[in-house]
Amino acid sequence: MSRIHGQCLRLFCFPYAGGGASIFRTWPAQLPRGVEVCPIQLPGRAGRLREEPFTSMRSLVAGVTESLLSRLDKPFVFFGHSMGAIAAFEIARQLRRERRCQPAHLFVSGHRAPQIPNHNSPVHDLSEPGFLNELQRLNGTPPEVLNSPELMKLILPMLRADFTVIKTYAYAAEPRLDCSISAYGGLRDNEVSREHIEAWREQTTSSFSVQMFPGDHFFVNSSETLLLQALSRELQILL
């Protein structure tokens, strides 16, 4: 893990499927001074509700990479949870291909290493009742949203699009990244095991660490304080 030597560090944060920039609203107050939290707001939600959501990882990576280029004038790192972890990883590889630059560090959370195939059933193709049941099982959508027909009608297209991005993602082998990687997982995550998290080691030529947190797949919310403490310690080393 290389040091930034006192410069401001931009932390670009990539949300999970169905999530938006608001997931990270409390982070600036809980992370070290000198860290500029930059949440990524994908189309199809909040202030970008009228924009068509991405339906493939390729289009997501191309669109977000283009939007980031003007903000890479300072040292930067990526954090992504679940879908956001793969997005952060693929955008780091895209930047290496296009701009010959990489984040100083990559934080990946709540997702199996990309080289491990995902054999789970395709969620995005389910009927509406089946899709809603799966959202409830995953425990990432607030009950007040799930129980509101008006809200669900508004966000269902975006949710299906995000799950399409995940399920149609196809990993392609490339040389390992040179940036260090920290991989986080949930101790009660039935979707992603510790072995899945540890397999991220294969994606870096630099240092690698694993930390597991109390909670299920959405420990990023339920164990937010512990997660941000761990993140703060690692960011402090970079500053």
Task: Tell me how far CA of residue 60 lies from CA of 11, 116, 176, in angstroms.
Answer: 19, 21, 21
Question: Catalytic: which of 2, 82, 223, 232?
Answer: 82
* Cβ-based burial of 50 (10 A; exposed 0-12, middle 13-18, buried ≥19): exposed
| Whole-number Å distance between alpha carbons of 235 and 239 | 6
| Whole-number Å distance between alpha carbons of 201 and 212 | 15
What would you report as the CA-atom Rg of the chain, rounded to the nearest whole angstrom? 17
| Whole-number Å distance between alpha carbons of 95 and 68 | 10
Task: Tell me how far CA of residue 45 lies from CA of 30, 54, 125, 153, in angstroms.
Answer: 25, 11, 21, 13
Asked about 82 being catalytic, the answer comes back as yes
Q: What letters, b where the CB count within 10 A reaches 16 and e where it falls short, cover 120-146?
A: eeebbebeeeebbeebeebebbeeeee
Q: Which amino acids are annotated catalytic?
A: 82
